[in-house]
Amino acid sequence: MARIAQPIIASEEDRLELLVMSRSFKIEKRYSQRAEVILLSLEGKGLMRSLSARV
């Protein structure tokens, strides 16, 4: 049985830093992708739902 994700709380400053990381070409791709997933979670979008929308 799948677990329910705990809500993530982030300040506006944290969101801005995650946004910068998700668009950066200077950091490793995995960190950029992780930042993008966290941003999607903050918006209340599930990972599977957001991935299916991109395909």
Whole-model pTM: value is 0.73
Assess contact for 48 and 37: CB atoms under 8 A. Answer: no
Contact 15, 42 (CB under 8 A): yes
Helix (H) / strand (E) containing 18? helix 12-23
pLDDT in tens, 1-55: 677 767 888 999 999 999 999 999 999 999 999 999 899 888 887 666 655 655 4
